[in-house]
Amino acid sequence: MSMDRALEEIRAGRFVLVFDFDDRERESDLTVASESVTWEHIRTMRKEAGGLVCTTTPYSVAKDIGLPFMADVYWGGRGEYPVLGDMAPNDIPYDNTKSSFGLTINHRKTYTGITDRDRALTISEYARTIFQDKPGREIEVELGKNFRAPGHVHLLNTSSRILRDRFGHTELCTALMYLAGVKPSATICEMLGDDGGSRPKGEVLDFAERNGIPFVTGEEVKTAWYEYVDANGLAL
């Protein structure tokens, strides 16, 4: 099964391709477990995918350690900067929720933050930091000590109930990490085409076959996710 192989590849620190839905973005993202990210992963995402490299955070974790949605930060600042209120993301054509974008960060040991090595360090250390078994306030302090914002790694927060309220790649790829049993943060990047748009599904399937990368759809992830949540009695 493609899903079984996809989970095996995630556990091994390798890529999986995820297509969302024909009635949503109609895009495929290259994804890998954030805890496994190396500079070679970032180079591949940059050269072979070409979209924006982002790293996901489960809503419950973001809430526990105080990581906001960027839309909320901007909305809170609209009194001093009214344009932030005017630009609220309330008309996203494929989504009826606010944008999943969170903060942008760099690890304090990076230089510019944008190089493949710098972004890999930021992402892998972020995943290591946020999933520690300690109180949220202690993790918050550690984040402030070791990371600066803004930066070159874009964080994405999942919706509060994964794949119940929102069905984007943020949720789909985070769900895959839970299913694989790794730290539930995914690093993702959209597959872009050479015609100014997203790479068509057929072309992505060809790319997946040539490179030995599992390809799964949003429907496959949803089915596996609902079975997982029901079997484990989880409120995710």
Check 20, 27, 54, 171 and give the catalytic one: 54
**Is 94 in the active site?**
yes
Q: Which of 27, 118, 190, 220 is catalytic?
A: 190
Per annotation, catalytic residue among 4, 8, 72, 94: 94
- Burial (CB count within 10 angstroms: exposed 0-12, middle 13-18, buried 19+), residue 209: exposed
Rounded Cα gap, residues 85 and 151, in angstroms: 23
Active-site option among 142, 152, 203, 228: 152
Q: What is the 3-state secondary structure (H, E, C) of 143-188?
A: HHHHEEEEEEEEEEECCCCECCCECCHHHHHHHHHHHHCCCCCEEE
* Helix, strand, or coil (residue 66): coil
Q: Which is the catalytic residue, given 29, 35, 116, 220? A: 29
Q: Is the dihedral of CA 62, 3, 197, 35 positive or negative?
A: positive
The answer to whether the CB of 139 falls within 8 A of the CB of 129 is: yes
Q: 152 catalytic, yes or no?
A: yes
Catalytic residue among 27, 59, 106, 125: 106
Is 54 one of the catalytic residues? yes
Active site residue 190: yes
Kind of pairing, strands 16-19 and 215-217? parallel
* Catalytic positions: 29, 54, 94, 106, 152, 190
